[in-house]
A and B are shown apart, each in its own frame.
Chain A
Amino acid sequence: MTGMAVAVPKEKKLNLNNSLFEQEDIQKFISTTGVFEFRVAPLEITTSDLGLEAANRLLDEMQIDKTEIDLLIFVSQTPDYLNVPNTAPLLQHKLGLSKSCIAFDVPLGCSGFVYGMSTIATYMQNPAFRKGLLICGDTPSKTINKKDKSSTLLFGDAACATLFERTTESNIMHFNMGSDGSGYDAIIIKDGGFRNPFSANSLKEIDYGEGIIRNQCELVLEGMDVFSFGITQAPKTIRELYDYASIDNESVDFALFHQANKMMNEMIRKKLKLEIEKVPYSLEKFGNTSSASIPVTLVTELSDNLRQGSHHLLLCGFGVGLSWGSCYLKTKNLFVLDLIEL
């Protein structure tokens, strides 16, 4: 991993300014989740637009020869089209990459950044692949009902571009991934795919009580199930990775968790006995940015550190799928752009 850039929409939403819910409920929500504000993309800006801007600036400032990018992966659950076509080839074209570049989508969310990295790393063990570009992010605001308290105060929009290059030095990058589809409905958009095709009923709003109103094409977040999963599975995958790589907390300079919610992430941190100084958060200002949350945290909280010297990072994404992945890697003089606002 040699360079990284993150782009977010300019528009900020402050939870305390939300007039649809009681102030007391909002205060409680903020103290539990840690989310004060987040960014929202306007209708005309998609995830790929944010990712395109991040990638263009990154490749430009790093002075990368675009013909050397042999692989482009777009990780997102909010693509431009419902997978026909994939968004990655569109990005290959807009970025002016070679037609010999392999480009495809990986539609994962919370675990997506780590999955995207592992896919690129696996391809790049083959020396035919010189450089790989991972464009990763989501615009959850487009999938959420404003009257759904479980999600409308939590999620923010963001995307990132990360460059991977083959080096001659040996490098550390260990992964531990997993899946459990029995929890497929813990985070789900029910209608609009081929299991439940879009119909007139899909757009009918239903009041589920407790401040939750949404239609069948909008995001469902079963908070209790996701919480219970996260506090159990995230520490487990990290402990397994520690065992496999023969490392411990001492081997980690910074641990970057998917920004799910503060209470959940703090429980995970405490279970692992990781010092608070090693575990930065971007939740307060950007909310839960789905597959972009690890890069958003890296860029907004650690860029000064990462630009200079070597750092050992522990990354862990967990959520929709259910799916999870952790990664231990070493970065050296990472090229990190300041946060881009669109």
Chain B
Amino acid sequence: MEISKFLQNFADILEDTAPSLITENTIFRDLDEWDSLTALSLIAMVDEEYGIKLTGENIKTSTTIKDLFEKVNG
């Protein structure tokens, strides 16, 4: 599983955020566009693209996009 692909998938769920802002170290909660509804899109994306069940707890305990990737990859 490539993190570059994960970053691209993450950027795709956002509408108003430049893809260049989406890096491994991005603190996703600090993105202007991030809210609880974006979290649902993230769960949906991970389910569709990776067939993995991402939980609310997984998201709450992550800070950067890399943290999320590791939970999906783990």
**A interface list, Cβ under 8 A from B:** 25, 28-29, 32, 150, 186, 210, 222-225, 227-228, 231-232, 263-264, 267
Chain A nearest Cβ from B31, distance in angstroms = 14
Which residues from chain A contact B35 at a C-beta distance below 8 Å? 25, 28, 210
Within 8 A of A (CB), among B36-55: 36-37, 39-41, 43-44, 47-48, 53-55
**B interface list, Cβ under 8 A from A:** 35-37, 39-41, 43-44, 47-48, 53-57, 59
Bound together, the chains give a CA A287 to CA B53 distance in angstroms of 26
Bound together, the chains give a CA A327 to CA B59 distance in angstroms of 33
Chain A nearest Cβ from B13, distance in angstroms = 11
In the complex, besides A225-B56, A227-B40, 17 extra interface pairs with C-beta distance below 8 angstroms are A210-B35, A222-B56, A223-B40, A223-B56, A224-B39, A224-B40, A224-B55, A227-B44, A228-B47, A228-B55, A228-B56, A231-B43, A232-B47, A232-B53, A263-B41, A263-B44, A267-B48
Main secondary structure of the interface of B (DSSP, over half): helix
Which residues from chain A contact B47 at a C-beta distance below 8 Å? 228, 231-232, 267
A-B contact count (CB 8 A): 47
What are 30 A-B contacts with C-beta separation under 8 Å?
A: A28-B35, A28-B37, A32-B37, A32-B40, A150-B36, A186-B56, A210-B35, A210-B36, A222-B56, A223-B36, A223-B40, A223-B56, A224-B55, A224-B56, A224-B59, A225-B55, A225-B56, A225-B57, A227-B40, A227-B44, A228-B43, A228-B47, A228-B54, A228-B56, A231-B43, A231-B44, A231-B47, A232-B47, A232-B53, A263-B41
Q: Which residue of A lies closest to B35 (CB)?
A: A210
Contact B37 A228 (CB under 8 A): no
Bound together, the chains give a CA A4 to CA B43 distance in angstroms of 36
